[in-house]
Structure 1
Amino acid sequence: MAGGSGLIERFYREVMEGGNLDLIDELGSENYTDHEEPMPGQPSGLAGIKFYVQTFRSAFPDIKAKAIEPTMVDGDLEAARVVLTGTHRGELMGTAATGNTVEFSGIDIIRVQDGKVVEHWGATDMLKLLQQTGAVQM
């Protein structure tokens, strides 16, 4: 999730990297809808964003947004490509920690209404991530 001018970057820097889960309630609308395919066990709404962040922060405690570009804002929509890195130090969707360094990307598009994120569309390269953790062999 993220929204408005620079909210995607704020989400990745302050929430994903910094662990400020309270910011999710500040940035997100109670009517938030996520159109991205959920992870196993991920609830809907703002609780789903918290689940997503906690899952990634526990699996990759040193997670960093290596790049957030390009970022585009058009009316009530914001979009960005994000490249994340981290060290696999905790369980991720049934795969035990490997100590592997990972790098994967995603695209986020959000719609903002009254300063809050109301919708998110995204695509995360989970195949690349799961290959790097050894969960998927190719």
Structure 2
Amino acid sequence: MSAESGNIARMRAFVEQVHEGGRVELIDDFLHADFRNRSAKNGQPDDRRGVVAVTRALHTAFAGLEVEIVHCVETGDVVATHKIYRGRHVGEWLGTPPSGQDADFRVMDFVRMRDGRFAEHWSVLGPLTAGIPEEPA
């Protein structure tokens, strides 16, 4: 078995410390100054500020947030991760009102690395599962 690459180790550290841990003060250590999120939604900043906003939104929406990295692979200068985000849904998440129940969603991310930092990002978010309030009949 080969040792984990530096880029994969950086991605794992980012997920653990920033997304799961909520340590937005570390974002500048992981992202290039000219970082661009190619999947930013309309009205969302596509730079470091957007990453700060998403991280804060995650921790507002999900109490006890945990992030499981299912797969993390690298090809060339791109690191791809398949992750599951889990927590108690206590705040609005992407327009879904809080349910108070345990919930999860999956994310597939692709990050182009440059000099050990994130330079570009693309993602696909799966639907929020479990804990979604049922609509009245």
Number of residues of Structure 1 aligned to a counterpart in Structure 2: 131
Whether 2:8 is the aligned partner of 1:5: answer yes
Q: Secondary structure at the match of 1:5?
A: helix
**Bigger relative contact order, structure 1 or 2 (CA pairs below 8 A, ≥6 apart):** 1
Return the letter of the residue paired with 2:124: A
Q: Which has the larger radius of gyration?
A: 2
Q: State the TM-score, normalized to the length of structure 2.
A: 0.83
Cα deviation code 1:20-54 (max 9, x no counterpart): 1011111001111111142x642220000011111
* Contact 2:104–2:129 (8 Å) recurs in 1: no
Shift of 1:130: 7.0
Whether 2:44 is the aligned partner of 1:45: answer no
Return the letter of the residue paired with 1:64: E
* Contact 1:33–1:120 (8 Å) recurs in 2: yes
* Contact 1:8–1:79 (8 Å) recurs in 2: no
Please give the alpha-carbon distance, in whole angstroms, between the structure 1 residues aligned to 2:56 and 2:96: 16
Q: State the TM-score, normalized to the length of structure 1.
A: 0.82
Of all paired residues, the percent bearing the same amino acid is 27
Gaps of 5+ in 2: 1-5
C-alpha RMSD of the superposition: 2.4
